């Protein structure tokens, strides 16, 4: 694998903060806009006259493109230099976003979304790479990585507001045209930084191309399995099963190839480090906590309270505010104490937020989510800043890119896998609760009879036909039971999230303590 030294060929002696600032902007764009698209999928699918099953590929193919683009970004940075890598991936985001924004057919949109994921998904990794290569440990590196943590975390709170604003301005196409505009700004700013930097084209010859191809295919197929499995009833569709099997085989072949390669795509030594491997596991679990804000809470409000994106946007800004206000605290606490303290506090804060939501009822409104979202935003800041200390601790010029790729792959898989498992849990628990509630309705238990009578009296003043009153009363009772079943299913989802994150907050203390860096002393 290319080393960090490879990615900073002929690095100019000028201060790197200009490049850090530009890459921070790119990381915010690369992290916020995909979530904005996810939250706006009803508008996107409606604008394209596509079914929900067809539109789901718009998100799936983007994630597949991200996983292919991550190692490619490191290769380009090493071969052509970091400045040119920023220009290439920024320009790629411009062209693909504009192509999607003017597209009229689903196949065109699908191809564009894969390409957009390839270019746009690499922007956060480029920022992490620039921070690692420009700022040595003890001399600003932690500060640069704190900016990376903030840029990729605050996006969770900004995504719904961004989606609301853009859709209101120009419909679903504005989601993609705006990315072209933001990408153009990023590309123009990238042109001004890291001038004179050159790469090393000979590195392309030694790049682990077989490992890159095999790993990209394997990870892409696993993402397809996780993203499309619930909609296709998992193993009832042959191609879902085939995606899982072929994906695992491709990953197996990739690992075998990388073990034999002279310069493998990933340095396997990084996984033998308890600090790095442990933080990867925590990163995946942490992504389950982010679903509180990007899936479980918004879906509950949309399904049971009729919230639209514009209402969700204003509410989720509370989480962005919590992240903004807590990031300086997270930096100070990580710098002055054991990093396991903010790690554990962050996970515990999100666990408490989920535990509060376990008590939701079908009457909960948006204001009941203000405290949980604020806690979630604060917890994400604490965890994200502290986790960077473990992610790069002991990193060398040889294994730095491997750490960057693995860390960002874990972020993507944590979100995709969390969505798959949470969706499945909600669906299955809804079925269970509906079965229990419908049984009480059909068996005419005393409570059900009482509610039927009350509903019948209410309808009787409007409907003269007795049989019509009975049918209406049963229909209303069934609708209420379905609503209650969904509420109970979301309670279960919040409970599972709270338990998983509470356990993770305890497991943090299995990580080894880290010595302070010189700049943190």
Q: What is the b/e burial string over 337-350, where b = at least 16 CB atoms within 10 angstroms of the residue's CB?
A: ebbbbbbbbbbbbb
Share of the chain above pLDDT 70, in %: 82
Q: Which residue has the higher pLDDT, 137 or 355?
A: 355
> What phi-psi label fits residue 338: left (phi over 0), alpha (psi between -120 and 50 degrees) or beta?
beta
pLDDT tens digit sequence for 144-154: 889 999 998 88
pLDDT tens digit sequence for 205-252: 888 899 999 999 999 999 999 888 878 878 888 899 999 999 999 999
- Read off the tokens for 252: 């197996």
User: Would you say residue 12 has pLDDT above 50?
Assistant: no
CA dist 60 and 57 (Å) reads 5
Residues 6+ apart with CB under 8 A from 423: 230, 295
> What phi-psi label fits residue 364: left (phi over 0), alpha (psi between -120 and 50 degrees) or beta?
beta
User: Would you say residue 315 has pLDDT above 90?
Assistant: no
Sign of CA dihedral 476, 359, 349, 327: positive
Mean pLDDT rounded to a whole number for the chain: 82
User: Would you say residue 41 has pLDDT above 60?
Assistant: yes
Q: Where are the alpha helices (DSSP H) in 443-465?
A: 446-460
Angle between helices 123-134 and 52-80 (to 10 degrees): 30
**Residue 479 CA: distances (Å) to CA of 154, 166, 343, 436, 455:** 38, 34, 43, 14, 12
Which uninterrupted H or E stretch holds 477? helix 466-507
pLDDT tens digit sequence for 358-384: 888 767 777 788 888 899 899 999 999
- Read off the tokens for 126: 């480029």
Pick from 159, 133, 155, 146: nearest CA to 41: 159
CA dist 125 and 123 (Å) reads 5
pLDDT at 270: 82
CA dist 68 and 478 (Å) reads 47
Strands (E), 359-434: none
1-207: CATH topology: Growth Hormone; Chain: A; (1.20.1250)
Q: Which residue has the tokens 């960077």?
A: 388
């Amino acid at each position: 694998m290319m080393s960090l030294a490879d990615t900073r060929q002929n690095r100019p002696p000028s201060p790197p903060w200009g490049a850090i600032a530009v890459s921070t902007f790119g990381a915010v764009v690369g992290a916020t806009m995909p979530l904005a698209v996810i939250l706006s999928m009803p508008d996107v699918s409606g604008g394209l006259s596509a079914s929900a099953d067809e539109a789901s590929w718009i998100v799936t193919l983007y994630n597949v493109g991200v996983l292919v683009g991550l190692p490619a970004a490191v290769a380009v940075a090493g071969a052509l230099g970091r400045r040119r890598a920023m220009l290439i991936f920024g320009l790629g985001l411009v062209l693909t976003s504009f192509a999607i924004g003017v597209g009229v057919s689903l196949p065109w949109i699908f191809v564009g979304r894969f390409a957009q994921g390839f270019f746009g998904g690499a922007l956060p990794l480029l920022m992490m790479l620039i921070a690692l290569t420009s700022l040595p440990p003890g001399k600003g590196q932690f500060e640069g990585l704190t900016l990376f943590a903030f840029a990729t975390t605050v996006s969770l709170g900004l995504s719904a507001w961004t989606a609301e604003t853009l859709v209101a301005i120009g419909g679903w196409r504005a989601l993609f045209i705006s990315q072209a505009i933001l990408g153009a700004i990023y590309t123009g700013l990238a042109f001004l930084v890291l001038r004179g930097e050159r790469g090393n084209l000979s590195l392309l010859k030694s790049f682990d191309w077989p490992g890159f191809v095999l790993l990209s295919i394997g990870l892409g197929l696993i993402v397809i399995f996780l993203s499309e499995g619930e909609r296709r009833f998992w193993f009832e569709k042959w191609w879902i099963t085939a995606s899982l099997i072929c994906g695992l085989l491709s990953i197996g072949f990739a690992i075998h190839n990388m073990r034999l390669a002279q310069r493998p795509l990933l340095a396997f030594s990084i996984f033998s480090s308890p600090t790095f491997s442990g933080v990867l596991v925590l990163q995946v679990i942490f992504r389950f906590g982010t679903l509180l804000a990007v899936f479980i809470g918004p879906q509950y409000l949309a399904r049971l309270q009729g919230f639209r994106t514009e209402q969700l946007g204003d509410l989720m800004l509370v989480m962005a505010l919590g992240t903004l206000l807590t990031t300086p605290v997270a930096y100070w606490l990580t710098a002055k104490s054991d990093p396991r303290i903010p790690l554990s506090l962050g996970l515990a804060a999100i666990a408490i937020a989920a535990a509060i939501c376990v008590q939701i009822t079908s009457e909960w409104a948006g204001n009941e989510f203000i405290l949980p979202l604020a806690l979630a935003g604060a917890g994400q800041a604490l965890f994200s800043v502290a986790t960077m200390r473990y992610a790069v601790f002991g990193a060398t010029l040889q294994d730095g890119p491997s750490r960057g790729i693995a860390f960002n792959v874990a972020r993507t898989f944590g979100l995709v896998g969390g969505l798959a498992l949470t969706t499945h849990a909600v669906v299955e628990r809804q079925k269970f609760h509906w079965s229990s509630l419908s049984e009480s309705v059909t068996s005419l238990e005393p409570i059900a009879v009482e509610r039927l009578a009350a509903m019948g009296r209410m309808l009787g003043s409007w409907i003269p036909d007795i049989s019509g009153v009975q049918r209406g009363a049963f229909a209303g009772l069934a609708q209420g039971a379905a609503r209650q079943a969904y509420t109970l299913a979301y309670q279960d989802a919040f409970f599972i999230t709270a338990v998983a994150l509470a356990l993770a907050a305890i497991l943090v203390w299995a990580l080894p303590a880290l010595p302070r860096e010189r700049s943190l002393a």
